[in-house]
A = this chain, B = another copy of it.
Amino acid sequence: MGEFSFIQWIRERQKRRKDVIVGIGDDCAAINVSSYKLCLITTDMLVDGTHFDLEKCTVRDVGRKAIACSISDVAAMGCQATVAVVSICFPDHTTEKFAQELYKGIWSIADKYDIEIAGGDIISGHSPLCINVTMLGRDEGLKPVRRSGARVGDMILVTGTLGGSLLGKHLRFEPRLKEGLILNKNFTIHAMIDISDGLTADLNHILEESRVGAILYEDQIPVSEAAVKMAEKSENTPLYHALSDGEDYELLFTLSKGQAKKAMASHFFDRGMISCIGEITRGRGIQMKFLDGKTRRIKPQGYEHLKP
Report A's interface with B, CB cutoff 8 A.
1-4, 6, 21-22, 25-34, 36-51, 73-74, 76-77, 79, 83, 85-90, 94, 99, 118-128, 130, 132, 134, 136-137, 139, 144, 146-148, 192-194, 209, 304-308
Contacts and interface: CB of A to CB of B under 8 A. Distances in A.
Contact of A134 (B85, B123, B194): B85
A89 B118 CA distance: 23
Contact of A29 (B4, B41, B48): B41
B29 A40 contact: yes
Contact of A27 (B21, B31, B85, B193): B193
Give the number of times this chain occurs in the complex, counting copies.
2
A28 B119 contact: no
A282 to B, nearest CB: 23
A304 B3 contact: yes
Contact of A50 (B34, B50, B123, B308): B123
Contact of A305 (B37, B119, B123, B134): B123
A38 B31 contact: yes
Contact of A146 (B26, B88, B130): B26
Contacts of A118: 41
24 contacts: A1-B306, A6-B306, A22-B146, A26-B147, A27-B74, A27-B147, A27-B194, A28-B40, A29-B40, A30-B38, A30-B40, A31-B41, A36-B36, A41-B118, A41-B134, A41-B136, A42-B119, A43-B85, A43-B134, A47-B127, A50-B126, A87-B132, A90-B305, A126-B128
Contacts of A41: 28-31, 83, 85, 118-119, 134, 136
B147 A89 contact: no
Contacts of A73: 27-28
Contacts of A4: 304
Given A1-B306, A2-B304, A134-B85, A27 B42 contact: yes
A125 B306 CA distance: 9
A5 to B, nearest CB: 9
B45 A123 contact: yes
A124 to B, nearest CB: 5
A38 B42 contact: no
B43 A123 contact: no
B45 A121 contact: yes
A131 to B, nearest CB: 9
B87 A43 contact: yes
Given A28-B41, A31-B39, A306 B124 contact: yes
A119 B308 CA distance: 24
A174 to B, nearest CB: 17
